[in-house]
Structure 1
Amino acid sequence: MKEIFSELKSEKFTQAKIAESLGLTQASISRYTNGELQMSESIALLFEAKFGYRKEWILTGILPKKIDKKQELAEVARIAKQGRDLDLVPEIRDLLPDIKKLKEDDYAVLVTTIRRFLGKK
């Protein structure tokens, strides 16, 4: 975890900013940094979704360390082309304008959440 926090610090993230991004307290981020708290799968997934560090790398050290966002977006596009026309599903169609407006990081969180829900990596 120290490696992640060091890298995020070099990108001008403070512990408070990291905590806010993840919906955690600054104290909990400090405890993760100092090794006082063990990283859970759900917290690792938050780091993956928000900052691109793979959950598997965080928990086990299995490389690669970060998600390839271009590859992930290409996979989403491939799935969309093979599957249903999402804009024909009313529940999805109504959300598409808002989804298209998401910031890249928030979009990545959404995609990661959907993929995990569907049991896909």
Structure 2
Amino acid sequence: MTNVRHRIKEVLAELKAEGHRQTQIAESLGITQASVSSYSRGEHDVSIPVAMLFEANYGYRKDWILNGELPKKVDSKNQLAEVARIAKQGRDLDSIPEIRDLLPDIKKLKEEDYNVLVTTIRRFLGKK
């Protein structure tokens, strides 16, 4: 079992201890309950987009889940400051280097990962 699998199992155990159910976690991430179950059993690694969703929804850093880079959880103040900085640049995607540079990679995503990303963006924007 890889360290990624150990870390995602740890995340899921902590979320369960906080009262989250697998079905709730799956729904919040836009993935199947079966996927969450396989992660909790250590059967599969998480993809980058799914790790990003764990970060966005539960605060466990993508870089910690995938690579073990500390800190384990996001610093909410720093994250909010970064979101505010990007938002102040305007809504034109071409004017936001962080997003513009990701567009070619987004186009290459597998369909499931693409759907997860779109779901996350919609939730962030308050659109379901």
Shorter-normalised TM range: 0.5 to 0.7
Q: After the TM superposition, which parts of structure 1 deviate over 2 Å for at least 4 consecutive aligned residues?
A: 74-81, 114-120
Pairing 1:9–2:16 present: yes
Please report the RMSD computed on the Cα atoms of aligned residues, expressed in angstroms: 2.7
Alignment of 1:1-121 (within 5 A): 1-78=8-85, 83=89, 86=90, 117=99
Q: Tell me the number of residue pairs that the alignment of Structure 1 and Structure 2 aligns.
A: 93
* Percentage of identical aligned residues: 55
Give the Cα–Cα distance (whole angstroms) in 1 for the partners of residues 22 and 76 of structure 2: 24
- TM-score normalised by structure 1 residue count: 0.64
How much does 1:118 deviate?
5.1
Q: Deviations over 1:63-120 (max 9, x none)?
A: 0111111121123345556x4xx4xx6x8xxxxxxxxxxxxxxxxxxxxxx8963569
How much does 1:31 deviate?
0.3
Give the Cα–Cα distance (whole angstroms) in 1 for the partners of residues 42 and 98 of structure 2: 27
Bigger relative contact order, structure 1 or 2, given CA contacts below 8 A and separation 6+? 2
Per the alignment, do residues 42 and 79 of structure 1 end up closer, same or farther by CA in structure 2, a change over 3 Å counting?
closer
Which letter maps to 2:52?
A: L
Give the Cα–Cα distance (whole angstroms) in 2 for the partners of residues 20 and 55 of structure 1: 19
Structure ID, larger Rg: 1
